[in-house]
Structure 1
């Protein structure tokens, strides 16, 4: 498992790439939740999500070890982050995307000089292709979450929270494959184990919830949750043991609750966040945490939303 030292090394490695993102507050949100709510705003991060942290840590490490080419197999935040970092260091990248990828995602990757190759509609098709391209080009495949350097990079979010919010009691983190939450857990629990870390998943993408209940990695079928950044079908082999060791609790939110949280943040705070990010706000708004009067940090993981779909997310 990764350690606090790994996270600290990651912060040093990526300090010229990632931003220290701000903490936002809303008096109305805190009043409605019965807790002092802080938003760790990774939607204001470079490339629009926390993914730049892990991607930077991994890509820079590989370049330091001689990598001349990198690939990834996701069209979303991770793919954009990998393309950005590779371009920053003058290394070619290819991002393998699904055939039905949105134009805006292709444009974002190409804007960072990443090559785009379309392949099938499932990760089972894209991942082998991305690995094959990396091998052909004597390059390196950059995984989205199940990698020590990715996890450590994401953990730098936790270090910043500790420095930015005094007397934090609880941190709420969205869970997809587990890279973000495993990194934050390592940073928090190895610094101050009294701080609670609670994960949140959509009801329609509850693979980690089931896995923790079963005490073993448990897969679920493909999901249609609007929280598209959390549409993994099982937690990672490397991330899951950290969750088993450190995670204090995990809660589920409905699609309607995600929409209400998304709409609240957009209307009252004037912030456009991803539905995946809105899960943490939903957990606080709808009393999933069973706490009152605490200092609660909700991690807002990203803000890359297809504008043509925003109307479908608003209540």
Structure 2
């Protein structure tokens, strides 16, 4: 099993490539939770995520023959970039298989780092099947995204940094996909201090570890569905699961809406952009998915910031909906002069900002002398939404909340 000494050895190998990322005390999230929250900003790492650490450590251990034959891997995006850059830096050819629907920003970045990208399959697991075929066909060395001791050890250097920057840390919260990151971090932290608690977090739509721990053995989900594409794996690794069982204290799950709220709040209040997988640890803290004491020193690991801009737009909008900052309504008006003006007067009296109005006289579900109206509105929170709905209904409007 992965050892503390493996992580220490990895630190020397990755030192020239991976940055020592900041550990930042957050007034905002400390006030929100009554805890002492410090954000491990691994999203400022080279390539935008922690994956460069494990990839660099693994590729540094290749034999001369393996370097000559090149490497291949499968990845949803962040590991792809890490392998491409780490291989290019030492002159090793790399082929990266990514799911067909991988974020375009991650595909472009991987190519820019020198990797040959092959798009295949619906998810990570199908991409991995193709990558293993290429491994056999071309004699390349497969660099596993998580189930490899060298990869785990490289990721574990984050744990060393957390402890050195904040020896008083009590709880570290870490995202889990295949388990490589948390295996390395838990090994590093427990090697420093057995009393440090390590909490793992998965998305509800990709909760293979939580389900595996509950059943007492590794399980594979039929599919995954989450905005946190960086941790969207059907199953945890065999080697990583053994480490998680022994060294991780608790594993919890968060929903996509909770991830969206954490991502949006982080962006708005801390001016820090995370991807979905990068925000799950913070979501687990702010949504109190595990018990912690007032003033407990907690470090959520924000592990990646490579989010596609189209995805970001959707996630931020969902975050605004969940926090009552945006609402879409439908109602019906009499099709006569002044009817729309009367509706707008109610909205104005409630200090509601109108993003857009769609006025439809042709809908067959309304009377001939009526018009359906859909409204996109900016609101100030859940209470404001309820006050607005009450005011509209008091004036006789039948209102349906669309989002």
Q: Would you call these one fold, judging by a TM-score over 0.5? A: yes
Any idea what the Cα deviations from partners look like across 1:224-266, whole Å, max 9, x if unmatched? 1111111111111000111111111111212221111111100
Quote the Cα distance in structure 2 between the aligned partners of 1:129 and 1:13.
Answer: 29
Between stretches 97-106 and 202-211, larger displacement belongs to 97-106
Higher strand proportion, which one?
A: 2
The residue aligned with 1:193 is 194
Alignment of 1:1-40 (within 5 A): 1-40=1-40
- Aligned partner (choices 305, 308, 329) of residue 306 of structure 1: 308
Alignment of 1:200-279 (within 5 A): 200-279=201-280
- RCO higher in 1 or 2 (8 Å CA, sep ≥ 6)? 1
Quote the Cα distance in structure 2 between the aligned partners of 1:64 and 1:168.
Answer: 41
Quote the Cα distance in structure 2 between the aligned partners of 1:298 and 1:252.
Answer: 14
The residue aligned with 2:332 is none
Between stretches 261-270 and 202-211, larger displacement belongs to 202-211
Aligned length: 315
Quote the Cα distance in structure 1 between the aligned partners of 2:253 and 2:19.
Answer: 30
Alignment of 1:1-315 (within 5 A): 1-63=1-63, 66-68=66-68, 69-292=70-293, 293-314=295-316, 315=319
Higher Rg: 2
SS in 1 for 2:83: helix
SS in 2 for 1:271: coil
* TM-score relative to the length of structure 2: 0.75
Shift in Å at residue 204 of structure 1? 1.8
Quote the Cα distance in structure 2 between the aligned partners of 1:220 and 1:259.
Answer: 23
Give the direction of change, closer, same or farther, for the CA distance of 1:283–1:143 in structure 2 (3 Å limit): same
Any idea what the Cα deviations from partners look like across 1:263-301, whole Å, max 9, x if unmatched? 110000000001112111111111222112211011011
Quote the Cα distance in structure 1 between the aligned partners of 2:141 and 2:281.
Answer: 33
Shift in Å at residue 121 of structure 1? 2.8
Query: Contact 1:75–1:95 at 8 Å: present in 2 too?
Result: no
Query: Contact 1:273–1:305 at 8 Å: present in 2 too?
Result: yes
Shift in Å at residue 124 of structure 1? 4.5
Quote the Cα distance in structure 2 between the aligned partners of 1:241 and 1:77.
Answer: 24
Unaligned runs of 5+ in 2: 320-403
Unaligned runs of 5+ in 1: none
The residue aligned with 2:369 is none
SS in 1 for 2:192: coil
Quote the Cα distance in structure 1 between the aligned partners of 2:258 and 2:129.
Answer: 36
Between stretches 250-259 and 144-153, larger displacement belongs to 250-259
Shift in Å at residue 89 of structure 1? 0.7
Quote the Cα distance in structure 2 between the aligned partners of 1:77 and 1:154.
Answer: 13
Quote the Cα distance in structure 2 between the aligned partners of 1:258 and 1:107.
Answer: 25
CA RMSD of aligned residues (A): 1.5
SS in 2 for 1:94: strand
* TM-score relative to the length of structure 1: 0.96
Shift in Å at residue 66 of structure 1? 4.2
SS in 2 for 1:53: helix
SS in 2 for 1:62: coil
Query: Contact 2:174–2:281 at 8 Å: present in 1 too?
Result: yes
Shift in Å at residue 129 of structure 1? 2.8
Between stretches 287-296 and 115-124, larger displacement belongs to 115-124
